[in-house]
Amino acid sequence: MCGRGLLVLAAVLGTSAAQAAQVFYQPLASLGVENDSNLDMDPGGSKAVQGYLADVATVVGIDTPEWSTLLRPRLVYRSYPKSSVDDRLETYLDLSSSYKTQRSIASLAASYQHLDEINAQFAPPTFNDIVPNQPAPTNSRVATGATQDTAFLSPKYVYSFTPTIGAGVSGNYEDVRYSPSDGSSHQNFDYYQGRAFLNYALNFTSTLTFGGMGSKFQTKEVDSQATGSGALVDLTTLWTPLLTTVEELNYQHTKLDSSFPSPIDASVNKIGGFVDVSYKTELDRFRLVARRSIAPSGGAAVYTTDRLQLQCDRTLTARFAITGAVSYIHTRGLTQGLSGEDSRYAQALVEAHYDLTRYLFLQGGYQYAYQRYRADPTSAENNRVYVEIGYKGLAPQR
């Protein structure tokens, strides 16, 4: 249902923007092989398995003087001959759209994913280039053969009253569903967060933002909810045309009311925030995000989540490029009654990409994943090595 709704939304935006628009398509396809030392992230370890994958996607772009839209549907099929329970067909849909006038900017970022539980919890540590601010994994224990459907919407609207003063609203919505949905760490939930804010341009390069926020977490099958409210202040600085930083400090009061996994009626005050650093040249791209937030979980509760994500891309020649990325997530229960699902995730990736021709490419790399739950006696690790050959249509100059 979430996926169909997102498709309809994408079609409506695309139709609106398609009038007198420039439309382009960029097809992508690849075939690959991989080897995993512990694919199911079993704390006790498991035998290495080999797998095969087929990946097909298309990037659709629609541009007008006011509208700009990117849409990317994607299908990935994975097959593991010696572990058929892990065979899966996964679907992705990413959308980014914006509309600009002389005084206002409206934007929408959205995504839908139908994934195996393993990939839902251990998505690559690289940033999504169409929806770069996707939420963290939902802190649910990996269940072999289970799937997770996630819909994410993030609208934003900003209006400028003067060249220095503006106001806006933004929001995030997550709908997460597990199959199967069990009575422990796989509880379907909805999560809403809204913000209202004022912007003040300190000078030509720095903008100060302050405002208020509210949130609501609600599980679908059991009686568990959390309501939050708070305040925020952030500073955005364009140091040079190549370097941008954003810093935020926020305060949130959260009211917990749950009967699962144990009765909880409590109020918690937390301070959070983030730092986002972006640097981009013709040959290099660098982004670092460090964040502390209160995030939803499949464990029928919200958790304090510390997240660090770093990605570096380097173009060495006209044909050869390398990427390095790391991510770390530490979740902790807001109260002692939720501490049993405290967890740590870590990932690292090194990837090389070589263009064989204008359309054909070869890429491969190494990916490491680590997981540790407080209640588990040991951690789980996986070492993945992969090679892919693929086709990529030429992207137009936008």
At 144-155, the pLDDT tens digits run 778 899 999 999
Closest listed residue to residue 86, CA positions, set 47, 112, 60 = 47
Mean of the per-residue pLDDT values of the chain: 89
pLDDT of residue 19: 53
Give the max Cα distance, the chain.
64
What are the residue ranges spanned by the domains of the chain? 2-392
Residue 49 has pLDDT above 80, yes or no: yes
Q: Tell me whether residue 305 is exposed, middle or buried, using C-beta atoms within 10 angstroms of its C-beta: 0 to 12, 13 to 18, 19 or more.
A: buried
Interval 321-332 mean pLDDT: 95
Percent of all residues in the chain with a pLDDT value above 90, rounded to a whole number = 66
C-alpha 47/C-alpha 38 separation (Å) is 6
Q: Give residue-wise pLDDT tens across range 209-224.
A: 999 999 999 988 778 8
Residue 4 has pLDDT above 60, yes or no: no
pTM comes to 0.88
C-alpha 86/C-alpha 88 separation (Å) is 6
CB 198 within 8 A of CB 210: yes
Torsion, Cα of 315, 276, 130, 17 (10° steps): -120
CB 59 within 8 A of CB 28: yes
C-alpha 7/C-alpha 58 separation (Å) is 14
User: Which one has a higher pLDDT value, 135 or 324?
Assistant: 324
pLDDT of residue 32: 98
Q: E strand or H helix at 217, and its extent? A: strand 206-219
pLDDT of residue 323: 98
pLDDT of residue 338: 59
CATH architecture of 2-392: Beta Barrel (2.40)
pLDDT of residue 359: 95
Token readout for 4 is 């169909």
Closest listed residue to residue 238, CA positions, set 206, 209, 262 = 206
Q: Give residue-wise pLDDT tens across range 253-311.
A: 999 887 766 678 889 999 999 999 999 998 999 999 999 999 988 877 888 999 999 99
Q: E strand or H helix at 150, and its extent? A: strand 147-160
Residue 229 has pLDDT above 50, yes or no: yes
pLDDT of residue 17: 45
Q: Give residue-wise pLDDT tens across range 26-46.
A: 999 999 999 999 988 888 778
> For the chain, give me the number of helices (H) and strands (E)?
2, 18
Q: E strand or H helix at 15, and its extent? A: helix 2-17
Q: Give residue-wise pLDDT tens across range 332-374.
A: 888 766 555 688 899 999 999 999 999 999 999 999 999 988 7
pLDDT of residue 85: 85
C-alpha 249/C-alpha 232 separation (Å) is 6
CB 59 within 8 A of CB 398: no
Categorize the per-residue pLDDT at 184 as very low, low, confident or very high, splitting at 50, 70 and 90. low
